[in-house]
Structure 1
Amino acid sequence: MRIELLPLETLQAFLVCAARVAALFSALPVFGSAQVPMRIRVALAVTIAMVVFPVLPRLLPATPLAPVGLGLLLAREALVGFMIGYIARLVFIAVEFGGAIIGYQMGFAAANVFDPTSQNQISLISQFQNVFAILIFLAFDIHHLFLRLIADSYRLLPAGEMNLGGEAALFLSRLTGEMFVLAVRFSAPVLVVLLLSGLALGLMARIFQQLNVFMLSFPVNIGVSFISIGLTLQLLAVMLNREFAALPERFHTLLNLL
């Protein structure tokens, strides 16, 4: 029985497709998490690449490449996939940073937990808001967007045509800077309540001078913060949905600049 092997150009084209898909999924907030076993991540990336590959024959290299040329092409395609995933991850970074701001202001500076996603110690409120953002990400089917984006990315930027110029770098830098503004927006409602709470405690300290406001401020700030977080979860969901809805436009802008 004779076994027919895949042509070399077909195998190389599949590797090029898999490089972009694997890098994209490794940078995604949910699928690229360290909580997901490596075997599952690899199997998922290969499966998606096998599904997308048959519809991309004209957008992939059709001739065999030298080992050096193939390695460079794989690296460039992986960079494209990583940048796409990085744009989506910025939203989750902003959520975690906003949670850290809230945690420090409410008195949870030392209350850190281990985050298996980043393998670091993060604020307790950051962990809570990050899990909430993941639930919104899945509830609004944002992960389906990336399945459509894989095919669209080859239509907007065929394999091997990436040209990382100044405009693309400035665009990514601007999005990274906006992440800090977005973090403040996520934490602003709770910060305003904490500011008003601090003003009220300051007035109490002036009126009741024998009152130990310093010891009273800890439970008051923690209680007020938890109530504010619970009341503003719907607002946070609306803000997250708006940011997730803006992702396709950002992806297309990046691919057009590359």
Structure 2
Amino acid sequence: MMPAGFTGVEATLWLWMVAMIRPGAAFLAAPIFSAPFVPVQLRLVIALAIGIPGLGAAQFHLPADGLASIDGVMLVAGEVMAGLAIGFAVQIGFSAALVGGELIGNTMGLGYAAMVDPTNGQSNPVLSQFLSIFGTLLFLSVGGHLALATSIVESYRALPPGDAWLSAEAIRGLVYFGSTLFAAGLSIALPVGFSIVLVQIVMGMLSRSAPQLNLFAVGFPAALLAGVVLMAIAAPLIGDSVLGAIRAGLDESRQLALGHG
């Protein structure tokens, strides 16, 4: 509970700090919030705005010896663990778009073309960056940021501060969910990637029937053109696959917030 009056200012500040730990840890791992272009001050304000209602619902009280004690350190560690798990589950579903874009780009012959992705500050293939931006728009359009905030607030009931340690089943479920990242990325890239492989097989047959044909001069533009056309045709299917991966990440994050494995 929030103490009233000026005599409780110090205790209130400690409570605010505890309230920011779990949302702040989730934002370190979650998509969009963890991007370098999001100011740290903005993350702290949003974390405080999300953490205070959740902490109030949990009826939390500071440890008797304060945070600079064994109980306080364990409390902070549990809060960080719960927040990172919730945010990381969403990040796994979001990263399927990056995997799918990398697979498509390598098949098209654009594996060498890389740009700096503003969402993570790393150098990614151009198609991965394109699908990452596409996934960001889908994430915001379905209210993924609001669903993440809801999961964080609900987690305070199932995982109250001081007892926020995830069970072994929950951790194992998160690890198993990480294995679905590659399957989701493959499903995103499959419509375009498989068709480009067929184009490359046809070009290989042409090169065998006409040895004087320069495979690199003809095959690369053909694969590139086929990839662009196929991505335009398969855009609705790719969008559905990316959206399905994002929703799967949000569902896994909600299950962790509710304390389920």
Regarding TM over 0.5, the answer is yes
Q: Which stretch shows the higher mean deviation, 167-176 or 183-192?
A: 167-176
Write the mapping of 1:2-13 to structure 2, written as runs, cut at 5 A: 4-6=6-8, 10-13=12-15
1:1-258 residue pairs with structure 2 within 5 A? 4-6=6-8, 10-54=12-56, 56-58=57-59, 60-61=60-61, 63-66=63-66, 67-68=68-69, 69-255=71-257, 256-257=259-260
For the residues of structure 2 that align with 1:182 and 1:160, how far apart are their CA atoms? 35
Unaligned 5+ residue runs, structure 1? none
Which SS does the other structure have where 2:155 is aligned?
A: helix
Separation of aligned partners in 2, 1:198 and 1:14:
59
Q: Quick check: 43-52 or 224-233, which moved more?
A: 43-52
Query: What is the TM-score with the length of structure 1 in the denominator?
Result: 0.88
Say if 1:156 and 1:252, in contact at 8 Å, map to a contact too. no
**TM-score normalised by the chain length of structure 2:** 0.87
- What is the rounded CA distance, in whole Å, between the counterparts of 1:138 and 1:199 in structure 2? 39
Query: What SS is found at the alignment partner of 2:115?
Result: strand
CA 1:210–1:63 in 2, change beyond 3 Å: closer, same or farther? closer
Q: Tell me how far 1:107 sits from its aligned partner.
A: 1.0
Contact 2:30 2:91 (8 Å CA) reproduced: yes
Deviation readout 1:177-230 (Å, 9 max, x if unpaired)? 111111111111111111110122123223333222232011111111111122
What letter matches 1:162 in structure 2? Answer: A
Contact preservation (8 Å) 2:19, 2:47? no
Higher RCO (CA-CA < 8 Å; seq separation 6+): 2
CA distance in 2, matches of 1:11, 1:26: 22
Q: Aligned-pair RMSD on alpha carbons?
A: 2.2
Identity among equivalent positions (%) equals 26
Where structure 2 has 5 or more consecutive residues not aligned to the other structure, the ranges are none
Q: Is the 8 A contact 1:95 1:186 kept in 2?
A: yes
Stretches (4+) displaced over 6 A: none
After TM superposition, the structure 1 stretch with the greater mean CA deviation from structure 2, 225-234 or 215-224, is: 225-234
Cα separation, 2, equivalents of 1:75 and 1:127: 34
Residue 165 of structure 1, CA deviation: 4.2
